[in-house]
A and B are shown apart, each in its own frame.
Chain A
Amino acid sequence: MMSSAWLIPLLPLAAFLLLVAFGRQLKESSAYIGILATLAAFVLALGTFFERFAAGAENYYFAFQWLTFGEKVIDMGFEVNQLNAMMLVIVTFVSLLVHIYSKGYMHGDERFPVFYSYLALFTFSMLGLVISPNLLQVYIFWELVGVCSFLLVGFYFYKPEAKAAAKKAFIVTRIGDVGLFIGISLIFWYTGSFNFADIFTALQNGVMESWQITLVGILIFIGAVGKSGQFPLHTWLPDAMEGPTPVSALIHAATMVAAGVYLVAVMFPLYQASVDASLVVAYIGGFTAIFAASIGLTQRDIKRVLAYSTVSQLGYMMLALGMASVAGYVAGTFHLMTHAFFKALLFLAAGSVIHAVHTQDIFEMGGLFKKMRITGTVFLIGCLSIAGIFPFAGYWSKEEILGAVYNEGHLGLFAVGVIAAFFTAFYMFRLFFATFTGESADDTKKVHESPLVMTVPMILLAVLAVVAGFINTPGNPILGHWLTEGMAGAEEAHHAPFWISIVATLVSLFGIFLAWLMYGKKSVARDVIAAPFPWLYQLSYRKYYIDELYDNVIVRPLRVFGEFLTMVDVYIIDGLVKLVGAFTKELGHAGARVQNGQIQTYGVIAFLGIVLLVIGLTFGRGYLG
């Protein structure tokens, strides 16, 4: 099964091609093509995963020569290793569920087949990224994924906000991609290959000097910062919520933004070899975790809160990977998996709510639990999971992260992680209580539960959000051991002290309790912090004015520069071209003046001609002497 892993991305690609060709005739039946393709891909992915998971399995690698320059060869191919196999299952599963869900959510949309074709293209790109065996292939699929994100975020292109958000997403991630591209080029220059295996061998043989390793590590991380929405390139993710909610669930929660984390995880030996680069990863991750969480505290749009939550959780993953320890690696990738499940669940549930009440402002909702029991229950499960409450999946992965951070001795980052966990619990339950409990803000609206095609995927994800944590508990770290087979330093990693899980749980419970007081029971005023410190509230609500900062410092000057260059183009370059034209025209005018039908003019011309002739003959080889 592992040898046919190359089929996994090709099935959604086939669906994309079919949908592009026949989508218009199929209309809403296009959903079946997309669902079938992703279902088949999921089955194949499961098969591949179990084959790799079996005891004694080896990595599978296949490549063919694509380009040759001199002695340098660039391959294309695919490989299956532990991380890949896990990612294949996650991506195909979430994609399958989103495909099924979208049949209900996008029902009635005119561009229904177009949506499914974009979804299929995205699934193909993400799966291709995940099985790439070399950096160049990763970069190709990385860009493809960015394009699909642009297409899907800008799906409602007739809305100017959606158009702007799509452009913003693409341009901001592009900035990260520049760093990634430079990093990839440098790696090729230093080690002579794009292949991961070759790069890691070169690392072990000490081919690269330490400053080179650090430089490459930071550059590749810049690419991850762009794609995974870390500070300072996080601004596109909340705006990308302009896209349809299934898109947010698939791309901006579970898969595309995970590509950055995946890249850092794949290049893990590089980060193990450079302390500075991994510190950069850890600090940016940790800062982003608390920074985004602090913004999520005040947002009113349900999808924005979830978007900032995604940014924050990705920060956690980067923090874990930045520890450059085996425990950190396991924690980061484990959290990637659990986050994919509970965040997709939360987004799908939010979509179900939006579908029902046609608003995204949580303070216009309320009392929805009575009317939407399934959605409410699964949303609660998602919240409990992300807040890290025992025994849900998020508890195990968050505890691993905090433990890994503590074990490496980064007490400052550990404190940041704990505070961010408090914020996480608080804002998630603020969302839950404001949306589902209390009285409805508007009783006249008829609200009903979503159809089966939308609730079944949510229920499946909810089940996973509960049980997925059990494959890597401290007492029985099956996933951890499997992921780190053959990795340097994978011996019995020391477990974190037990008090960490107690502290984390207490902090989360306190966050939930505070949210309940403020939004559930409403016994504490909502603005208990905002009223005495309005500037704090403003800073958080206005996203620390980062968008305004970027607008004034970067966008406007660039635009002025662009206008200046336009002037140069219009006046100088076009001016030169027009000058040539004008010159010829004037020459023509002068010639026309000569042809005026008057004999005397012709006589003058004839006389001038004779004079010129005589001069020419005299000073030439004419009648001289």
Chain B
Amino acid sequence: MTVPLASYLLVALILFCIGLYGALTKRNAVIVMLSMELMLNAVNINLVAFAKFGAFANLTGQIFSLFSITLAAAEVAVGLAILISLYRNRRTVNVDEMDLLKR
């Protein structure tokens, strides 16, 4: 029994939406970064699914997803560094309170 392509894409979509919701509504910056990881993982699932079932089924999709994971890791490192420096400056990780752009 094969799982159709649509299921993989749907799972990825649901994951992406959950990640998007978290990124846009959670107050704690760490959770926001977590949600962003979720979104990146969803994209990875999409890539692997198309590597198997897509129009031009190729191994390139899986290789691409490896690159994506690497980049995500690097990005998290930088993001956490920014977060710690923000915390040291403002004593809070509440994204609601970071509204200097308002001026």
Contacts and interface: CB of A to CB of B under 8 A. Distances in A.
A597 interface: yes
Interface string B11-31: 000000000100111000000
Contacts of B24: 600, 603-604, 607
Nearest to A604: B24
A598 B96 contact: yes
B99 A598 contact: yes
B99 A596 contact: yes
Contacts of A444: none
A624 interface: no
A580 interface: no
Interface of A is mostly: helix
Interface residues of A, number: 9
A591 to B, nearest CB: 13
Interface in A563-585: none
A607 B95 contact: no
B91 to A, nearest CB: 18
B103 interface: yes
A599 B102 contact: no
Contacts of A596: 99, 102
A205 interface: no
A595 interface: yes
B3 interface: no
A612 to B, nearest CB: 16
Interface residues of B, number: 13
Nearest to A600: B24
Contact of A597 (B20, B23, B25, B101): B101
Interface in B55-91: none
Nearest to A599: B95
Contacts of A598: 95-96, 98-99, 101
A13 to B, nearest CB: 70
A524 B74 CA distance: 127
A600 B25 CA distance: 7
Nearest to A603: B24
B100 interface: yes
B100 A597 contact: yes
Interface of B: 20, 23-25, 32, 95-96, 98-103
Q: 10 tightest A-B contacts by CB?
A: A597-B102, A597-B99, A597-B101, A603-B24, A598-B99, A604-B24, A600-B24, A596-B102, A596-B99, A600-B95
19 contacts: A596-B99, A596-B102, A597-B98, A597-B99, A597-B101, A598-B95, A598-B99, A598-B101, A599-B98, A599-B101, A600-B23, A600-B25, A600-B32, A600-B95, A600-B96, A603-B23, A604-B24, A607-B20, A607-B24
Given A599-B95, A603-B24, A607-B24, 18 more contacts: A595-B102, A596-B99, A596-B102, A597-B98, A597-B99, A597-B101, A597-B102, A598-B95, A598-B96, A598-B98, A598-B101, A599-B101, A600-B24, A600-B32, A600-B95, A600-B96, A603-B23, A607-B20
